[in-house]
Structure 1
Amino acid sequence: MTLSLLFGVATYAQRPEGKKITISGKVLEKGTNLPLEYATIVFEDVTTKQLSGGITDENGVFKFDIVAGNYNARAEFISFKNAPIAQKSFSEDTNLGTIFLAPDVAELNEINIIAERSTVEIKLDKRVYNVGKDMMVKGGTVSDVLDNVPSVTVDAEGTVALRGNENVKILIDGRPSGLAGINIADALKLLPADAVEKVEVITNPSARYDAEGGGGIINIVIRKGKANGLNGSIMANVGDPETYGVSANLNKKGDTFNLFSNFGYNYRNNPGNSLTDAQYFNNDGTTNGYVYERRTNKRLYEGYNANFGIDLNLTKSLVWTNALTFRENTGKNPDNVFFNNFDANLNPVSIRNRFNNQKSDEFSIEYASNFVKKFKKDGHQLNVDIAISKNNENEFATITDQVLGDPSSLDIDLTTNINKQQRNLFQADYVLPIGKDGRFEAGYRGSFLNNLTDFAVTPDTNNFSNELEYVENVNAFYAQYGSKINKFSYFLGLRFEDSNIEVNSISLDDYNTKKYNNLFPSATLNYEFSETSSFSLSYSKRINRPRGRFLNPVSSLASNINIFRGNPDLDPSLTDAFDIGYLKRWNKLTFNTSAYINITNDSFQFVRINSGIVDGGIPVIFSSPINLAKEYRAGFEFNLNYTPYKWWRLNGNFNAFRNETQGDYSYVDPNGVIDIQNFDNVAYTWFARINSKITLPYKIDWQTNGSYIAPQTNAQGKSLGIASMNLAFSKDILKDKATIAFNVSDVFNSRKRIMETQIPNVVSSYSEMQWRERQVMLTFTYRFNKQKNERDRQPREDNGGEEYMGKP
């Protein structure tokens, strides 16, 4: 029906011009008063039988123009009874009020295939990835989910990048969540994928959003039940390497309340490995010796997670939501490393074994409360959010180091890493429609974070122990206005953030306070060539504040010769982001392309320097982040959804970019000589992903995902290309109430980060790192009191979205 309507609209557009009038109104589900998104309003000309009309938005609201005349009109929605509109003659702007559609019970009982939304929805300002339709991540983690999202990559260590830029802000339900813990990459590898409903990727956010994240924002939306009555699903999975788990999503909905929950248990074994072949040099450039490092590790995680909440409809216009979420994990990571030492002529000298027996435990809890007050005018509302969270993460390790064959060389270190984080968030957002197409927004956000890290080494011969306190208080105010003039629409905003940052190295008696405030303008301009073709131009200013391990002088001794050290003196980097986008929809194809430029001041780069410490005759190398003068990132990207046949869906993503850094870094080497490292570098690289879903005979779904990350150079070496493929099959059973899925992650076991590093007169190295080896998973899902592809008929929670007038 929708395609017919679009065809009718195109035909209608060719009619002789008459008086144009505006038709508006709202469509709700009868009995629940829930808005119906994508419901169709059909106007059929009494004389010509030509069609025109429109489609409702996420709030069930519709607004479109027609030529004044006589029409037979109706509202339609799949699995609902059509609702005829009694009025026949339309001569002026008309608000049809609220139209109620009743479920068609007979059709619901007989229907076998229900239209489902595409896995990836491409919009001009963002991409929305619907996790529920993806077999590839069944039984996986949120990190696996993100690795399937257009424009997003997750490297071998779990670091998330958007368009190749790691300075990305990750939100959970539209806000920074304490459940992410101390290290967001580690948290995403522990949270189960089935708790996620969808992922929103926003490359150039408006002023309404937190200004954090120079590369953009990724918003993870947690699943919440929507249908009336008691409904939900239960999922169990088992995999190799040893992995198993069970989870459930339960929901109970009444006329005045909605109880929702999801909880689960997971045990995961993620074996990994790495190798590093390093050649060390003397000061005159001659070879000093070689060290070939071989590492194996088993990351064992056992965890519980639960989320309980309730939506209370206090009045017809006031909804109060309360939710309590907690997560508990324990882990073991026995890390076994062999250092094969050779002299300058590659003659064996010795073999050292370093065994790091690491254990960890983590507990997170978060309480969130949300008020939504809707006023009489459509779109006029006030949102108030409060979130309070606490996270404790502790790591303990016993490290034994010994030259094989020499018992007297045995060295034992004990390390503890105690992390405590408290985060409080207060936010208010006000939306006021102005006139026919205008909208004004204003709001406040207060984010207050306190993080304490206590790292201790026993015995501490090199003064590695340190207690670091990080305090971040940010108060922000914003205002923005948008409107539409014919086919042109715009959205202009300004955000003010006042930052008060403390980085206190308590053990070193070094206290640093950084106070600064910034203005963050944003602007988006959009032009609709037609209902299926749009162009946009956007700008925003962003900030990236260093946190966690970037600031902590020492947080790990996993290796005794390659040590990562944070830099407490790091300053935030500021980015100016420009984006030009074009969106085109055809019958079977949606195509979105964009060109972008990001200019970053004081960008973070990593340097490797000789520490002056020698361990077993090998110089210890420190890796640390520093601020460089400039970084220029420019690229081109396109995304597409293509459905050549009803049984075959394709979506793909391609991103190519140029990254240029400019800056010098100088330090005093162990010999008292000033060493200047030049970081001027220009790198070209690209990334591609394609996802195919085919329905085979006997209704077996087959999904394939292939990706490639091209090589990239940096100032101290380069990373080589990475190709990988995932595979999945699924079949509905038990009268479509259950699904069994089989998936293979990293089919060819090829997901490895491969690096080549050169530091003149210090070291030249080649390394490979595989965070997780190939994994095979079998998953069983059972659904009760809901259809397999049941539509989400409740509007999404507005967590800072920027759907505005004129957006497709």
Structure 2
Amino acid sequence: MKKTSIILLSALLSMQTMAQTPATQNKPAEKVPEKAKDINLNEVVIQSKKPLIVQEIDKTVVNVEAMISAAASNTLEVLEKTPGVSINSNGEISLNGRSGVLVLIDGKNTYMSGQDLAAYLKSLPGGNLDKIELIDNPSAKYDASGNAIINIKLKKNRIGGFTGNISAGVSLGRYARNNDAVNLNYNYKKLNLFANLGYNYERNYRKDHFDRRFFDEGGRLISTVDLQNNLVYNDRSLNANFGMDYSATSKTVYGLIFNVNKGERNGMFDYESSDFNANHQLERTGKGDTKAKDSRTNLGFNFNLQHKFDNKGKELSADINYLNYQSKGNQALQNFTYAPEGALLGHEKFRYVIPAGIDIYTAKADYVHPLKNKARFEAGFKSSIVDNDNLNKFYNVNGAEQTIDNSKSNHFKYHENINAVYLNGQKSWKRLGVQFGLRTENTLVRGKQLGNDAVQGSAFTKNYTGLFPSAYISYKLDSLGNNTLGLMAVRRISRPNYQLLNPFLFYRDQYSYTSGNPLLNPQYQSRIELKYQHKQFLNMGLSYNKFSNLIFQTTEAVNDIFTTRPKNIAGGFMLLLNTTVSTSPAEWWYLNYTARLSKIGMNGRVYTENLHFNVNILRLEVNNYFTISPTWSAELGGYYASRDMNGQTLTKGMYRVNGGIQKKILKRKGSMRVAFDDLFHSWIYNNQSLSLKQSEYFQTSESDTQRISFAMTYRFGKDTFARKRRHNNNASDEEKGRID
């Protein structure tokens, strides 16, 4: 009987290997797998090294466990080291040169953007992550929002019995931070329970130096402002994700997921300024500071089901989500102005109280129906409702007395309802494959700024419907599928996040304000791309991207005050060539090199100034992975970014170097890791302005990017062969991406 069991198990493993796709069979990193070990009568334990990157024709899959530095990093830092992904100084994420990325967690959208999304991703330790999927050209099944999609998958083992892993990491730069994670899984018969727990503490700084210059209509210099901003903050975050899968029958699975994310941030922002006349004579100085305390509590509930009608691929999946986000902000600010000889000219103190609440409801269903001769179609719908309540109270402070100033206060409410349906069809022949899809989305928006005794209320309504087609054709140039050509075309939309529509004017320092714009319209982009893939060795893509109603962060200079607010400008384009090489020059060496060359152009009008600008951009990513021995491994990588353009800002080129080393311990169930980031502290932004009326600025910005990290990981439980449930994206896959 035992001999028969071994034969059956061996046959199953052989069938699994034979069923792999050609792309999987040609993974370069699999040239040096560790051999299967510990085979006995009761189980088969397989230990193999996951390749960092697997190139698929429609997406790129990154195995986070293969990144040595991941255990001591947060998710935002892991993304920053992920090939193809870049993050600017404001926390905005780009994929292969395309901004406006939709970020999903296990197929669910974070419903955040900008700094809120960055703060949320920082709260997720890298030890909670399993894979990152990079999707350049999403099909009609996905929301039309976002120029590309990044799907972050958390660890879910789902094997028999109780299993899990833990990781603890500390990172040292100017300040210390730590990222700790626990992943648990229990599987018994029809029930599967899993949990991801993470704790994050970060202390960081940001230093900005501005040189602002002002001119008369003839172009002559009339004044300058030298401004130094310093920010130091502490951030504590706790993230907990609990889930359950119940297999009611062999074909029907029900799931529940609950998520809570709590965070608290304390910061001290201070500035010093000097004003000079045209002859560079000091006219006045200033200084001020802001003490800020913010907290957030984000809750998420998800119910999902998956039903398979047969064994041929006919299935229905559906889910319902409710998300509740609550935040509280409290900022105390003060400013001082002095004459050149030091006499006090003015002093003001004020305070912001900024509570906000967001409720999000989503429902989604997807149906897959296989047809004869390798064909199938997919259809589905999604509906979402978002209610956002944002309150800003401004108080003038005089000693212990606080008086509300309604002229500078604001109460903004936002309601949005999006309904979508889609149809997607696929057909494969021996060498040819096609996929065509169409998604229709209707958006209803109502915004209301509540008035008071000093400010008149206002409201706006928008109702629009969009069609978003997608097409994909692939052709295998040889019978083995080693060389594949792909042609794809998509149309996408980028809706402004909720706070970009809020007209409230927010104070940063004595010379800087930010504001929203309720007149913003959505941005549209169309793309056509030609791709070529040779096994897992070479992946190339040439795309042309056209943008209309481009959402653009503009800066207006009035006297010596800069006000930043979003606007729609005429449009722009991007011609992009991506080339990725992945190979193993030796059994102990695996490399991944990516070069992105793009030409970006914009054409429009910003206030009174014409904006017509083209720039050539180069991105070069170099990643090397070394297997020194069965228990020792290392990595060394670098990233170079040439000059770039973002809004009315031109950024000079810069680079960084990262690396790490790992030692497997405790029979390879544990590891000790040491890593370094930005070895030469070269990741410093040097910016200058574009198309400002009678003014210009130069900026230098740096933060705590030069660091050394230490981490330990340990995996417990038995790794036995077991069936895993395929989790589909649930209904939360757009609206989160626009909370700011």
TM-score clears 0.5: yes
Pick from 233, 237, 240 the counterpart of residue 303 of structure 1: 237
Distance 2:668 2:445 in 1: 54
CA pair 381-142 structure 1, distance change in 2 beyond 3 A: same
- Indicate the residue corresponding to 1:647 in structure 2: 588
CA RMSD of aligned residues (A): 2.9
Distance 2:430 2:666 in 1: 52
Contact 2:634 2:661 (C-alpha < 8 Å) held by counterparts: yes
Deviation at 1:399, TM superposition (A): 0.9
* CA offsets 1:162-192 (integer angstroms, 9 cap, x no match): 2222222112222323587982233223322
Distance 2:500 2:721 in 1: 43
* CA offsets 1:297-319 (integer angstroms, 9 cap, x no match): 11211111111111111100001
- Indicate the residue corresponding to 2:474 in structure 1: 526
Matches within 5 A, 1:154-553: 154-178=87-111, 183-213=116-146, 215-240=147-172, 241-403=175-337, 405-407=342-344, 409-459=346-396, 463-507=407-451, 508-530=456-478, 531-553=481-503
Contact 2:90 2:115 (C-alpha < 8 Å) held by counterparts: no
Range with greater deviation from structure 2 (194-203 or 318-327): 194-203
Contact 2:168 2:712 (C-alpha < 8 Å) held by counterparts: yes
CA pair 378-38 structure 1, distance change in 2 beyond 3 A: same
Pick from 596, 601, 626 the counterpart of residue 567 of structure 2: 626
Distance 1:448 1:487 in 2: 43
Range with greater deviation from structure 2 (156-165 or 321-330): 156-165
Distance 1:771 1:174 in 2: 32
Contact 2:554 2:566 (C-alpha < 8 Å) held by counterparts: yes
- Indicate the residue corresponding to 2:20 in structure 1: 55
Distance 2:405 2:555 in 1: 22
Pick from 531, 538, 557 the counterpart of residue 610 of structure 1: 557
SS at match of 1:137: helix
Deviation at 1:660, TM superposition (A): 1.4
Contact 2:631 2:668 (C-alpha < 8 Å) held by counterparts: no
SS at match of 1:557: strand
Contact 2:650 2:690 (C-alpha < 8 Å) held by counterparts: no
- Indicate the residue corresponding to 1:670 in structure 2: none
* CA offsets 1:731-762 (integer angstroms, 9 cap, x no match): 11122221111122222212222211155553
Distance 1:786 1:155 in 2: 41
* Counterpart code for 2:516: G
CA pair 769-556 structure 1, distance change in 2 beyond 3 A: farther
Deviation at 1:678, TM superposition (A): 0.8
Distance 1:380 1:149 in 2: 35
Q: Specify every segment of 5 or more residues in structure 2 that has no aligned partner in the other structure, as ranges.
A: 1-5, 26-33, 397-403, 732-740
Pick from 575, 594, 599 the counterpart of residue 541 of structure 2: 594
Distance 2:235 2:125 in 1: 12
* CA offsets 1:41-77 (integer angstroms, 9 cap, x no match): 3xxxxxxxxxxxx53699x9x9xxxxxxxxxxxxxx9
Distance 1:29 1:539 in 2: 48
* Counterpart code for 1:494: L
Range with greater deviation from structure 2 (592-601 or 466-475): 466-475
Count of residues paired in the alignment: 699
- Indicate the residue corresponding to 1:88 in structure 2: none
Deviation at 1:716, TM superposition (A): 4.4
Deviation at 1:646, TM superposition (A): 2.2
SS at match of 1:183: helix
Q: Specify every segment of 5 or more residues in structure 1 that has no aligned partner in the other structure, as ranges.
A: 1-27, 42-53, 63-76, 82-102, 613-618, 667-675, 802-808
- Indicate the residue corresponding to 1:696 in structure 2: 628
- Indicate the residue corresponding to 1:797 in structure 2: 727
Distance 2:686 2:167 in 1: 36
- Indicate the residue corresponding to 1:25 in structure 2: none
SS at match of 1:663: strand
* Counterpart code for 1:569: L
* CA offsets 1:297-354 (integer angstroms, 9 cap, x no match): 1121111111111111110000111111101000011112111222222233333112
- Indicate the residue corresponding to 2:639 in structure 1: 707
* CA offsets 1:503-543 (integer angstroms, 9 cap, x no match): 22223411111001111111111111132111111111111
* Counterpart code for 2:374: D
Deviation at 1:623, TM superposition (A): 1.4
CA pair 608-180 structure 1, distance change in 2 beyond 3 A: closer
- Indicate the residue corresponding to 1:735 in structure 2: 667
- Indicate the residue corresponding to 1:724 in structure 2: 656
SS at match of 2:507: coil
Pick from 609, 614, 618 the counterpart of residue 682 of structure 1: 614
Distance 1:231 1:137 in 2: 21
Distance 1:196 1:467 in 2: 38
* Counterpart code for 2:124: L
SS at match of 1:679: strand
Contact 2:611 2:691 (C-alpha < 8 Å) held by counterparts: no
Deviation at 1:714, TM superposition (A): 6.7
Contact 1:180 1:187 (C-alpha < 8 Å) held by counterparts: no
Deviation at 1:243, TM superposition (A): 1.4
Bigger RCO of structures 1 and 2 (CA < 8 A, at least 6 apart): 2
Distance 2:318 2:387 in 1: 23
* Counterpart code for 1:201: L
Pick from 505, 522, 528 the counterpart of residue 572 of structure 1: 522
Distance 1:219 1:642 in 2: 25
Q: Tell me the percent identity.
A: 24
1:39 and 2:4 equivalent?
no
Range with greater deviation from structure 2 (462-471 or 698-707): 462-471
- Indicate the residue corresponding to 1:751 in structure 2: 683
Contact 1:556 1:564 (C-alpha < 8 Å) held by counterparts: yes
SS at match of 1:248: strand
Deviation at 1:552, TM superposition (A): 2.2
* Counterpart code for 2:420: A
Rg larger in 1 or in 2? 1
* Counterpart code for 1:576: S
Contact 1:481 1:493 (C-alpha < 8 Å) held by counterparts: yes
